[in-house]
Structure 1
């Protein structure tokens, strides 16, 4: 009889422990989901991909302009009738005998991606991300595009900038606005809008 009682008590204790563990895991999973997507984002960003540059305040008022005298092995990128230059995974414009590093404009095309690209998928669309610049393949070329809101990357280039919009801090690189999020316990950056410079 004592053996049956011990077996019964141990079985009940085991079931209680298992139930408690499952409930704790469910609670942990629901907490993880809450952390994955932050809820501080404003409705204006969620519903409108383009954000006026007048609404964004940069924490550093002036960005350091990087210029060089020569760009060896450059290729010419013609966009809307104007020549730009591409070399060493950077884009340049020419001014007063110097080449100034710029963020590429949507529509720039290159024939070969740099070897350090990362493939990013969002909503059944594939992007190639190279140092914070998003490309899609168009025929035999790669075209600079704006990523869709919700696209997630796991790192930003070192020269991103912090900005304030609606009293919240975001991250900007090449006019793409990101929010820091957690995805499966890993820090990531989600696209929340595009800064409209016009």
Structure 2
């Protein structure tokens, strides 16, 4: 196992790596979950627990089943890091990119961290996640061109819906969400988060 030791006194907001250095850091430390915000600050994230990992996979599975039926794009897991046009390197819990946009990338771009904003993202708040940091991340997605995003917050029994060029809307759980024009015909029932 390759390991990385970071001194605890280091301020990760001031560690600036080139794109290639960041890529090598991630590739050489596969057990480390790292993102960068639009300002280039490194963000180290802890792994999710059993409940969170199960919920993430269930959400991704629903999206995958819809996409297999429609063949409209590509679905990505939380292990995929996107190099956003706004400057950040982010890993949504689930993401979807429209097929023609994905096919426009070169094979090298698809193999590394795709330099593209997904059309759709899901973030699932875990008990250790800061709500304000996730809301900032969702705004970063919108600023980078994501068309639709859902921030599912079981702790507060709500979901925040982010649409390109609009104010976010919060709905109480349980609810049913529509993929709207971004994911035509996709409906996600969020009754599984009731009383979590």
Give the structure-1-normalised TM-score: 0.23
Larger radius of gyration between Structure 1 and Structure 2? 1
Q: Which has the higher strand share?
A: 1
Q: Which has the higher helix share?
A: 2
